[in-house]
Amino acid sequence: MYFYRIEELLVPCEAEDIVSCGGPYVAVMKPKDFMDHHEKFQMGIDMDLDLSHVHDTKAVVNYDSLTGTLNIPDHVSFHKEKFKLAFALDEKGIVFIDEDDYTYHVLENIRATRKWKLPSLERFLYDFLEETIKDDNAMLESVDKNLDSIEASIMKGEIEEYPMQLNDIRSELLDMNRHYEHLIDLAKELEENENGFFQEANLRYFRLLAERVQRLQDHVTTLREYIVQLRDLVSEQLSIRQNKIMTLLTVITSIFMPLTLIAGWFGMNFINMPSTNSKIGYPITIGVSALIIVIELVWFHKKKWL
129-143 confidence digits (pLDDT tens)? 999 998 888 889 999
Same domain, 148 and 221: yes
> Residue 6 carries which DSSP code?
E
Distance of alpha carbon 58 from alpha carbon 148, whole angstroms: 34
Closest-CA residue to 94 (of 124, 115, 116)? 124
118 within domain boundaries: yes
Same domain, 187 and 280: no
Same domain, 154 and 52: yes
**pLDDT digit string, tens, across residues 73-111:** 876 665 667 888 889 888 888 889 888 888 999 999 999
On the question of pLDDT at 36 being above 70, the answer is: yes
Distance of alpha carbon 17 from alpha carbon 12, whole angstroms: 10
Same domain, 199 and 289: no
Q: Going by C-beta distance under 8 Å and a sequence separation of 6 or more, which residues neighbour residue 50? A: 31
Distance of alpha carbon 89 from alpha carbon 274, whole angstroms: 106
Q: Going by C-beta distance under 8 Å and a sequence separation of 6 or more, which residues neighbour residue 304? A: none
> Cβ(129)–Cβ(114) under 8 Å?
no
Instruction: Determine the average pLDDT of the residues in 113-128.
Output: 92
Domain termination site, one of 222, 238, 254: 238
Distance of alpha carbon 159 from alpha carbon 23, whole angstroms: 60
- Residue-range definition of the domain harbouring residue 227: 2-238
Number of domains in the chain: 2
114 within domain boundaries: yes
Same domain, 193 and 275: no
Closest-CA residue to 97 (of 48, 155, 144, 28)? 28
137 within domain boundaries: yes
How confident is residue 63, by pLDDT bands cut at 50, 70 and 90? confident
> Residue 9 carries which DSSP code?
S
Give burial (CB, 10 Å; 0-12/13-18/19+) of 141. Answer: exposed
> Cβ(27)–Cβ(96) under 8 Å?
yes
